[in-house]
Amino acid sequence: MKNVQSCGGIVIHKGKILLLYKNYADRYSGWVLPKGSMEEGETFEETALREVKEETGVSAEIIKYIDETSFEFNSSEGRIAKHVKWFLMKSFSYFSKPQKAEYFVDSGYYKYHEAYHLLYFQNERQVLEKAYEEYKHILRDQIFEEQKKAGETEAEAETEAGSEPANPAE
């Protein structure tokens, strides 16, 4: 059995997840996450970013590593064991353009529950679930930090103006 290392991305823009629709000679079709094999000399992160760009036309930025999935399949080369390292990524627009040479015929951004049910492979649904939970956690942390900074700024402004900060206990 041949082992193949791949990397991919769960790409999110404004809460929506990027998916690709693959139709291979009418024998295989379904919605998938962008992923692909490593090239010599690449890091996992470089592979993930390159594959997202090649397959979708999207320039993304890695937020963090999420997980690794594995699966096996038959090919003309025999049995293949594929191991995919997944990264949570963000993009900066809803633009995407599927790579026709790889049999991708459509792409787009979908709400979480839509993307979850559209994905063809169970292991991709599982990694999407982990990535989206992490995404929500990061958003909560950002909101908390923004609120904290806003509160500190408000207190500093009151102090500079010569008034005491409001005491909610009074």
Q: What is the mean pLDDT of the chain?
A: 91
pTM of the model: 0.84
List of domains in the chain: 2-143 (3.90.79.10)
Cα–Cα distance for residue pair 4/125, rounded to 1 Å: 21
Give percent helix, percent strand, percent coil of the chain, each to the nearest 5: 35, 40, 25
pLDDT of residue 29: 87
**CA–CA separation, 87 vs 65, rounded Å?**
4
pLDDT at 76: 86
Q: What is the pLDDT of residue 159?
A: 65
pLDDT at position 153: 67
> Of 126, 106, 137, 130, whose CA–CA distance to 21 is shortest?
106
pLDDT, tens digit, for every residue of 71-82? 998 888 899 999
pLDDT given for residue 163 in this prediction: 56
Task: With a cut of 50, list the residues of the chain below it in pLDDT.
Answer: 170
